[in-house]
Structure 1
Amino acid sequence: MGKKVKDITWYALSFAMAAALLYYSFRNVDWHDFISAVASCRWGYVAVSMVLGIVVFYLRALRWRGYLLPIDPTTSRLTCFNAVNIGYLANIVFSRVGELVRCGYIVSNSAREPDGTRKASFDKVAGTVLGDRIWDMLSMGAVILLSLPLMGDRLSELFEKVNINMPWLIAGLAGLVAIVVLAAWLLKDKSSAAGKVWGFLRGIGDGLKSSVMMDSWWRFVVYTVLIQVLYVLTSACIIEAVDGILPGFETMGLTDALFLMVVGSLSTLIPVPGGLGAYHSAITLALSAIYGIPVETGIVWATLSHESQLLVQILCGGISFIHESVREKE
């Protein structure tokens, strides 16, 4: 099977999965009640959540720039911000493509060496993206561990409901990565394909090294903490937007916002474009299983939360794309 056929098959399956999850989430919705609930929400809080989403994008760009500066000191804040925005825009259409788009954008805007090559190679930039994602996972893990005294019962009950053994899942993924790395190292001199994989992995290693070469570690930590705090506040804003309008949300506070943020983050493990369907089904399941909120009610909150941030991604990505197009013409 050729690469093009594989890509088409992968994206077709991804879109099909998103469609199936969306159908599952919305299958019993009374559209008159749904539209009425959405129209009645406090849109000021939704607007605040969208502004917070934009701030998160900028903080992500600043944090990522810390990885990139050891590779190319000329990398600007605006370049990183545009790369993050355009990457999110690409992910709405094709799952996981955004990371590749981010890398390509940084490389194309990187300064040139005396021999004409770019200071930032694709594999090194890919390493910084991987490093950024790894820190996302670690910070999310830290958030979960630190908040277990507050929401441990909720998470345990949710995992039991969906029959997920997280330790086995994590161990399986770690084992798969270890096998790929070991096979590439053992076969790098015997197989051209393994050699290319090993070369790419070395490039990723160089990119990861840049994460420990940052001059200001305190900034990196501050950005990471702020990102997680703003994610919680974003969820809290949507809770406030439906408080008194949707039954079951009037008693929720920051702990519940934290729990819903964690559930939403875990839904990104499902490879669907823009999180469509995956986020909606995960949130409605959590609201139903833990709070007893009917799916028909929970889907309103999930839609407000997801689609408001989706709109932010479209607006920011579109503006950055237009800015880049105008800059290239100049």
Structure 2
Amino acid sequence: MNKIIGNAIKLIFFFGLGIFLVWLITHHLTPDQWQRIKQVFRTANYWILLPVFLVGTFSHILRAMRWRMLIEPMGYHPRLFATFSAVMIGYIANLALPRMGEITRCGVLSRHENIPIQKVIGTMIVERGLDLLCLASVIVVSVLIQIEVVGGFFYHTVISKMMSLFSSGSWLRYVIFLIIIAAIITGMIFFLKLFRHTRWYRKLVLLFRGIKEGMLTIGKMKNKGLFFLYTVAIWLCYFLMVYIGFFCLKPTSGLGINAGLSVLGFGSIGMILTQGGIGAYQLIVEKTLELYGILEAYGFAFGWLSWITQTLLTLVLGSGCMIILPFTKSRKKIIVAEKTI
């Protein structure tokens, strides 16, 4: 019951934050701006969304193929459709409950392909860490190649705020925070030592050993070059989804590669901040496009169109996988069938 209440509170908080950001974007729009937005959507070339859907689908397939490469060094060989389904069902879980996607996809793949979940979690941690590194790289490259346009925006919105945290004596709060964290870690170590001979402690050790084994698979892969190629291809697909999407709306059709990199980098941060990215993604995309001379109303329209496209793709593919996957044989059933032959 407590877990259900906790999940409900998280859902309400993140969804509420998203709704607040939507209000923050829309409450000051004038009737003239609303008319511009409606006109943009009426004149949009929605056929452009077809290649966006195809590229997005291909990126998810590549992600499933890359995830399999992390799992295979442990001696498990999950099928591509099961891995792809786990990825897509995880994305749907992220739309339904905050931060539940990663655990959900690990659970789906573990149950269907008969792989210990702790090992799957280890590979997922590696994959998410790699994605964060890629996102940081996209942002850094975007800032460096267009320092005049994006550099000032990045400095005033991120760097200056970080610097202000350590001014006016506010650093003392962070010292206290670090002391509290250190005390919690020390208490946990003492607690674990005190109960190290119990059964649940041994289960906890096995869990972390499995996670560690999953995290170390990246060093055991035979074809690291292919893994790197998959990673580059995934992020290239993400970029193409943004860049091709520009041509859907007339005001953004003249934007180039630099604008695409900026929207990809900063927009991805928005997808992390709130439930399904709602509100935060649109706001960040709108402000980013303003740097390239796109009027606020048009940036608002593109942010919503891009978000709806990504969310719709997730819902269609994820729902399809949820329907089809139960009708495919799980790895456990295949093993049982082989033993009876």
TM category (shorter chain) comes to 0.7 to 0.9
Counterpart of 2:213 in structure 1 is 206
Quote how far apart the aligned CAs of 1:25 are: 2.1
Counterpart of 2:168 in structure 1 is none
Counterpart of 2:336 in structure 1 is none
Q: Please state whether the residue corresponding to 1:204 is helix, strand or coil.
A: helix
Corresponding residue to 1:156 among 151, 154, 159: 151
Give the counterpart letter for 1:313 in structure 2.
Answer: T
The 3 A distance-change label for structure 1 pair 301 and 103 is: same
Quote how far apart the aligned CAs of 1:250 are: 5.0
Which structure 2 residues correspond to residues 261-276 of structure 1 after superposition, within 5 A?
Answer: 261-270=264-273, 272-276=274-278
Quote how far apart the aligned CAs of 1:205 are: 1.7
Structure 1 CA distance, aligned partners of 2:120 and 2:188? 20
CA contact (8 A) 1:84 1:102 kept: yes
CA contact (8 A) 1:26 1:296 kept: no
Counterpart of 1:190 in structure 2 is 194
Query: C-alpha deviations, 1:15-58, integer Å up to 9, x for none?
Result: 11111112222332654432331121122222211111111100
Structure 2 CA distance, aligned partners of 1:230 and 1:24? 30
Quote how far apart the aligned CAs of 1:146 are: 4.0
Which structure 2 residues correspond to residues 100-249 of structure 1 after superposition, within 5 A?
Answer: 100-111=103-114, 120-164=115-159, 184-185=188-189, 187-190=191-194, 195=201, 200-242=207-249, 245-246=250-251, 249=252
Structure 2 CA distance, aligned partners of 1:73 and 1:197? 22
Structure 2 CA distance, aligned partners of 1:47 and 1:138? 29
Structure 2 CA distance, aligned partners of 1:68 and 1:185? 30
Structure 2 CA distance, aligned partners of 1:219 and 1:325? 31
Corresponding residue to 2:78 among 75, 80, 101: 75
Q: Please state whether the residue corresponding to 2:146 is helix, strand or coil.
A: helix
Q: State the Cα RMSD in Å.
A: 3.0
Q: Structure 1: any 5+ residue segments left out of the alignment?
A: 112-119
Counterpart of 1:315 in structure 2 is 316
Corresponding residue to 2:279 among 277, 280, 297: 277
- The alignment-based identity, stated in percent, is 23
CA contact (8 A) 1:235 1:260 kept: yes
In the alignment, is residue 19 of structure 1 matched against residue 26 of structure 2? no
CA contact (8 A) 1:75 1:110 kept: yes
Structure 1 CA distance, aligned partners of 2:283 and 2:326? 37
CA contact (8 A) 2:282 2:303 kept: yes
Q: Structure 2: any 5+ residue segments left out of the alignment?
A: 166-173, 334-341
Larger radius of gyration between Structure 1 and Structure 2: 2
Q: Please state whether the residue corresponding to 2:248 is helix, strand or coil.
A: helix
Counterpart of 1:35 in structure 2 is 38
CA contact (8 A) 1:284 1:302 kept: yes
Structure 2 CA distance, aligned partners of 1:165 and 1:83? 40
Structure 2 CA distance, aligned partners of 1:147 and 1:302? 19
Quote how far apart the aligned CAs of 1:157 are: 2.2
Quote how far apart the aligned CAs of 1:164 are: 5.0
Give the counterpart letter for 2:102 in structure 1.
Answer: E
TM-score normalised by structure 2 residue count: 0.81
Structure 2 CA distance, aligned partners of 1:238 and 1:266? 19
Structure 2 CA distance, aligned partners of 1:254 and 1:132? 26
Structure 1 CA distance, aligned partners of 2:64 and 2:121? 15
CA contact (8 A) 1:181 1:198 kept: no
